[in-house]
Chain A
Amino acid sequence: MKKFQVDQNGYYGKFGGAYVPEMLFANVEELRIRYLDILNDSSFQNEFHALLKHYVGRPTPLYFAGRISDKYNTRIYLKREDLNHTGAHKINNTIGQIILAGRLGKNKIVAETGAGQHGVATATVCALTGLECTVYMGKLDMERQKPNVERMKMLGARVVPVLSGNQTLKDATNEAMRHWINNPEDTHYIIGSVVGPHPYPDMVARFQSVISEEIKTQLFEQESRENPDYVIACVGGGSNAAGAFYHYLECEEVVLIAVEAAGKGITTGQSAATIALGAEGVLHGSKSIIMQTDDGQIVEPYSISAGLDYPGIGPLHAHLSERGRVEFTHVTDKEALKAALELAQLEGIIPALESAHALAILSKLDLKKSDLVVVNLSGRGDKDMDTYIRFINKEK
């Protein structure tokens, strides 16, 4: 029984669908009709898995983090998505979508990016396959994630600054969608998260599901059991969480925890905790939970972490929240920064600010010594060094 899978009409319960203007209908419809046949084809699977293994470096380690386990008096494993080529889980999806774009006969790629991790992952696979790459990025995000901007440019991508709204991920997504409207025939849009019109949320979740597939195998090797007691992931749009939860959704004994970015605190008006603060609505092609005013205008979110600074969440997650399958919680900027520093000093791993949100929840859980906890370490922190240095200097 697959009660958390997308249905034939592109819905997870009441969330999902394909709310696109007619200008995008033909493209989205072509994807909808073809994606499962393409993904299930053995030549696609062979190519996808070969690239994940030889190019991305999968499987990524599942590492027993002894010192942080001692600190929280439990048993904590880290799924090391930070060790992927390009430094985050984002490349699992872009590898899949670039092969798909080839099968669809598209020779240009457009993408949005927040933290720049998806942009870098997209620029990378475009360089790998020789496709032309345009990445839209909010101007504010370009400033706070400068190293990633330079990486994208070195990889040959055109990075277009977005000046509308708060100049962050939401605005970059608008602009990428407009680009696709204006270039529907030769361009494939590589959405970076489990958001957007059906079939994107399902397609991206499938590409990211390699994360939980590996966790199962690796946990069995190390602990003689496939299922941990907890899986914890941070969530903005929700792609790393979707991947880490995917093969555990039907295993109800595994507690799944998604950590949103509370920013400066959920009551401060400067937050990106969509499940905590949002309401049902339609944004970027799907019906989900979104942060909005009483008048239905989208609220500009805030988080110190560019990758979580988004006012929506994938429709799968809205459904998982409503059904109570995943527990949604949130941590502040400051809690995330502290957790990042802690991981660096206890384990020698500098996490991405996004992933630090998942780590920050450990201190708030009532964990038993015997519990087995998997935290999805979705990315590494090189891109966030400026922010970390400022924080460390302030704490001194």
Chain B
Amino acid sequence: MNQIEVITNKIEDLFYRRKKRILSVYFTAGYPKIDATATIITNLEQSGVDLIEIGIPFSDPVADGDTIQHSNHVALKNGMTIRMLFDQLRDIRNRVEIPLIMMSYLNPVYKYGIEKFCKKCHEIGIDGLIIPDLPLYEFETKYKAVFDSFNMKFIMLVTPQTDNERIRKIDFLTGGFIYLVSSTSTTGSKGKISNEQMQYFKRIHDLRLNNPLLVGFGIGNKESFVNACQYTAGAIIGSAFIRAVSKSDDLKASVSSFIKSIKA
């Protein structure tokens, strides 16, 4: 009864099919409303987004700027929990094909149980995890085997301060893509991409890594998206999207008009 399971991963598939101008969008689960999760995901897919990061809200998001701090705070006040999120996502794979990534700080996942969390993500059809405060050393020595066994791509951040040796190691140990943090900063739009940042993107591009690169932090409009894409496979928008849906009564319309403004 040995059934051969062909292990596929939607993030891998995406980067196999597409090499340029990939648009990934982050949103905080439970924001702006507790029941917005499925609406946001389905409308992001319909609007032509390529990849979605579902943020699990946390009380102490140290890597985030004001906008995402606020969305985390509101989402928790709305009553969002990991268990509720898993429940909301139970049937999501009947509705969308788009690759899905869970983004969380370590503590909520640790408290839930890392293996149990991966198992649940696998059952739902989640393809990857971003846990910014789970460092490479801990990942490599304690958790890589668990993530691999559930086919979860672990996506790590690289910053302007990460040296080449470490970038190579991250590239070797992780999968899906490398999250290129655009500058030494917390999340949130900074306006334009500077020449210095472009040089940094090119420097990482020239390392010819195995994993594709997506640029995140400070990407908030069409111009910064296009610039970020010049030396990379694409970019990630978070805070600007959170602002776009913050005051909306019509989520569908605001999701679609925001994505249009980026892709136009």
Contacts and interface: CB of A to CB of B under 8 A. Distances in A.
Contacts of B181: 22-23
- Residue of B108, B112, B156 with highest tally of chain A CB at under 10 A: B108
Nearest to B112: A296
A184 B159 CA distance: 11
A313 to B, nearest CB: 15
Interface string A17-49: 111111101110000000000000000000000
A21 B107 contact: no
A22 B107 CA distance: 16
Interface in A152-198: 164-165, 170, 174, 177-178, 181-185
Interface in A57-108: none
A290 interface: yes
A24 to B, nearest CB: 9
A298 B108 CA distance: 9
A185 B160 CA distance: 11
B111 A22 contact: no
Interface stretch (A279-287, A316-324, A328-336): A279-287
Contacts of B69: 164
A21 B157 CA distance: 8
Contacts of B63: 21, 23, 178, 181
Interface string B126-161: 000000111101100000000000000000111101
A20 B76 CA distance: 23
A388 B241 CA distance: 49
Contact of B59 (A9, A21, A279, A298): A298
Interface in B70-91: 73, 76, 81-83
B60 A282 contact: no
A63 to B, nearest CB: 40
Contact of B108 (A23, A279, A295): A295
A282 B107 CA distance: 5
B109 interface: yes
Given A181-B186, A295-B82, A279 B111 contact: yes
Nearest to A18: B135
A26 B167 CA distance: 12
Q: How large is the interface on B (under 10, 10 to 19, 20 to 34, 35 or more residues)?
A: 35 or more
A23 B159 contact: yes
Interface string B210-238: 00000000000000000000000000000
Given A181-B186, A184-B184, A296-B109, A17 B59 contact: no
B195 interface: no
A267 interface: no
Contacts of B201: none
Interface in A332-391: none
B106 interface: yes
A170 B135 contact: no
B110 interface: yes
B111 A182 contact: no
Nearest to A27: B161
B184 A282 contact: no
Contacts of B138: 17, 19
Given A165-B59, A174-B62, A185-B184, A22 B106 contact: no
B204 to A, nearest CB: 13
Q: How large is the interface on A (under 10, 10 to 19, 20 to 34, 35 or more residues)?
A: 35 or more
Contacts, number: 109
Contact of B107 (A20, A185, A298): A298
A25 B133 CA distance: 10
Contact of A295 (B73, B83, B106, B185): B83
B156 A22 contact: yes
Interface in B169-183: 181
A294 interface: yes
B110 A181 contact: no
B132 A22 contact: yes
Contact of A26 (B83, B156, B162, B186): B162
A177 B184 CA distance: 12
B162 A22 contact: yes
B132 A21 contact: yes
A337 B16 CA distance: 66
Nearest to B109: A296
Contacts of B184: 23, 181-185
Contacts of B106: 19, 282
Interface in A250-295: 279-285, 290, 292, 294-295
Interface string B93-136: 00000000000001111111000000000000000000011110
A178 B186 contact: yes
A297 interface: yes
A292 B110 CA distance: 12
Contacts of B83: 295
Nearest to B134: A19
Contacts of A17: 135, 137-138
Contacts of A9: 137
Contacts of A292: 107, 111
B236 to A, nearest CB: 15
Interface in B19-78: 58-63, 65, 69, 73, 76
A83 B132 CA distance: 42
A295 B62 contact: no
Contacts of A25: 135, 159, 161-162, 166
B108 A297 contact: yes
A174 B66 CA distance: 12
17 contacts: A17-B135, A18-B135, A23-B157, A23-B161, A23-B186, A25-B162, A164-B69, A178-B62, A178-B186, A183-B184, A185-B161, A282-B107, A283-B60, A295-B112, A296-B109, A296-B111, A297-B108
Given A25-B166, A183-B184, A295-B108, 5 more contacts: A26-B162, A181-B62, A181-B184, A281-B110, A282-B110
Top 3 closest pairs, chain A to chain B, by CB? A296-B111, A296-B108, A26-B161
Interface of B: 58-63, 65, 69, 73, 76, 81-83, 106-112, 132-135, 137-138, 156-159, 161-163, 166, 181, 184-186
